[in-house]
């Protein structure tokens, strides 16, 4: 397994010498197809967590012939333990907008929207004036593309792309059936590119520095770097941009408090890696992928409580439309409570694990499908903590 040393990177938050106008000028001199080829070549994958190749997403949308197409920046950052998009939007908003404009140019979209988490309302005034400024710049450059803000209302599920479209259309935020995918039928049923905040900034940086500089970083399947939100039992919580492919053990060595017993990678819907497996995984698509949330737990933490919290979260944040997710989450939660109270035998955990496996394959969207990640990995590694 190829892994990388701990290395801080400064691409996302780099401000020095980063004139987005210059980047845009360079982009506009090239053809959309060249831009998309570069994006594919860079190997950039969605930084929201799902990791779909960004260039392909753009390519599919470009090949649709619809007159109306949209670029959406998914800033509905709601995964527990993730707080990087807020920071990016606060510190380098222009680079986000530029990524959207590049995408818009590449797929021939005229409108872009930033769907932002309702809790980030405090950013509104500043962000709006920066958007106005940016739109004006595009107008001056003769690029027919405009960005507008749209606000979420606090539902976790609205970060799921199709639920996000529904929410933007004024409907109840519930995921749609797929296919069709957003590249064909997205916002207002038009071809839509929806990218995470961080992904869009990388799009800007790839266009600034070229593909090679990006590809220098990371491993074979996990090119580039990534912003991590580090929290939990760590002496230095915060936001760090690191090269992809870091061994979990090296991550813990850098950020842990010396007593880490587990790292939850990828938020509530992510994977729990216990101490004994720190050396087995890298952070990346070959190992454990993440949207950026890294929660470290030391030996003072009860993994029952950790799991219980996650399940409470999912029980509340499931949209409720599909059976496996709506009822499954409740059953997992009530189930571990019943085992803890001794009302159900420890073997009931196996029934629940089997249920979680069904939720993974039968749920309608990524939310219900991902509940099995923390459930199975915590149960498998900390079974005794759950039961006793």
Residues in 358-377 at the binding interface with another protein, rule: CB under 8 A: 358-364, 369
- In this chain, which stretch among 70-78, 119-127, 208-216, 333-341 interacts with another protein, using CB under 8 A? 333-341
- In this chain, which stretch among 94-102, 195-203, 351-359, 376-384 interacts with another protein, using CB under 8 A? 351-359
Least distance from another protein to the Cβ atom of residue 216, Å: 31
Least distance from another protein to the Cβ atom of residue 327, Å: 4
Collapsing DSSP states into helix, strand and coil, what is residue 377? helix
Binding mask 310-329 for another protein (x = CB under 8 A): ----xxxxxxxxxxx-xxxx
Strand blocks (E) in the chain: 70-75, 111-116, 146-151, 192-196, 225-232, 238-243, 246-247, 260-265, 271-274, 282-283, 293-298
Identity of the residue, 85 or 174, whose beta carbon is nearer to another protein in the bound complex: 174
What's the burial of 121, exposed, middle or buried (CB within 10 Å: 0-12/13-18/19+)?
Answer: exposed
Identity of the residue, 300 or 347, whose beta carbon is nearer to another protein in the bound complex: 347
CA angle 76/80/81 to nearest 5° reads: 105
d(CA 300, CA 143): 56
- In this chain, which stretch among 94-102, 142-150, 302-310, 349-357 interacts with another protein, using CB under 8 A? 349-357
Identity of the residue, 99 or 267, whose beta carbon is nearer to another protein in the bound complex: 267
State yes or no: residue 338 binds another protein (CB under 8 A): yes
Least distance from another protein to the Cβ atom of residue 125, Å: 30
Of 348, 359, 361, nearest to 326 (Cα)? Answer: 359
Q: Is the distance from CB of 160 to CB of 365 less than 8 angstroms? A: yes
Residues in 164-223 at the binding interface with another protein, rule: CB under 8 A: 172, 177, 179
3-state helix, strand, coil in the chain (%, to 5): 50, 15, 35
State yes or no: residue 66 binds another protein (CB under 8 A): no
For another protein (CB under 8 A), the number of binding residues is: 37
State yes or no: residue 331 binds another protein (CB under 8 A): yes
- In this chain, which stretch among 107-115, 253-261, 332-340, 376-384 interacts with another protein, using CB under 8 A? 332-340
Of 200, 311, 267, nearest to 49 (Cα)? Answer: 267
d(CA 20, CA 94): 7
Of 378, 369, 161, 382, nearest to 269 (Cα)? Answer: 369
Token digits of residue 159: 């970060």
Binding mask 119-158 for another protein (x = CB under 8 A): ------------------------------------x-x-
Which positions lie near another protein, rule CB under 8 A?
155, 157, 172, 177, 179, 314-324, 326-331, 334-335, 338, 344, 351, 354-355, 358-364, 369
């Amino acid at each position: 397994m190829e892994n990388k040393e701990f290395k801080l990177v400064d691409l996302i938050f780099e401000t020095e010498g980063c004139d987005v106008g210059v980047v845009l000028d360079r982009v506009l001199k090239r053809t959309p197809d060249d831009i998309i080829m570069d994006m594919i070549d860079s190997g950039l994958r969605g930084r929201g967590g799902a990791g779909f190749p960004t260039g392909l997403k753009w390519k599919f949308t470009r090949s649709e012939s619809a007159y109306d197409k949209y670029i959406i920046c998914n800033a509905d950052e709601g995964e527990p333990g993730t707080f990087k998009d807020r920071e990016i939007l606060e510190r380098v908003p222009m680079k986000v907008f530029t990524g959207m404009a590049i995408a818009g140019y590449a797929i021939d979209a005229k409108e872009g929207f930033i769907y932002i988490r309702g809790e980030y309302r405090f950013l509104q005034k500043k962000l709006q004036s920066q958007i106005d400024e940016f739109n004006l710049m595009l107008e001056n450059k003769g690029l027919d593309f405009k960005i507008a803000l749209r606000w979420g209302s606090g539902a976790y599920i609205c970060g799921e792309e199709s639920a996000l479209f529904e929410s933007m259309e004024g409907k109840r935020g519930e995921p749609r059936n797929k296919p069709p995918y957003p590249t064909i039928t997205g916002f207002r049923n038009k071809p839509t590119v929806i990218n995470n905040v961080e992904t869009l900034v990388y799009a800007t940086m790839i266009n600034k520095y070229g593909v090679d500089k990006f590809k220098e970083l990371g491993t074979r399947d996990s090119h580039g770097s990534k912003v991590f939100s580090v929290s939990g039992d760590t002496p230095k919580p915060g936001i760090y941009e690191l090269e992809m492919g870091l061994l979990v053990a090296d991550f813990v060595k850098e950020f842990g408090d010396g007593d880490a017993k587990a790292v939850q990678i990828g938020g509530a819907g992510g994977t729990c890696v216990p101490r004994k497996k720190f050396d087995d995984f890298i952070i990346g698509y070959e190992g454990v992928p993440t949207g950026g949330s890294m929660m470290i737990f030391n030996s003072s933490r009860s993994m029952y409580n950790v799991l219980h919290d996650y399940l409470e979260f999912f029980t509340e944040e499931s949209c409720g439309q599909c059976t496996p997710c709506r009822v499954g989450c409740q059953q997992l939660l009530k189930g571990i409570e019943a085992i803890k109270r001794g009302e159900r035998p420890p073997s009931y955990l196996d029934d629940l694990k089997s249920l979680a496996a069904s939720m993974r394959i039968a749920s309608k969207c990524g939310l219900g499908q991902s509940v099995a990640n923390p459930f199975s990995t915590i149960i498998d590694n900390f079974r005794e903590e759950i039961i006793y």
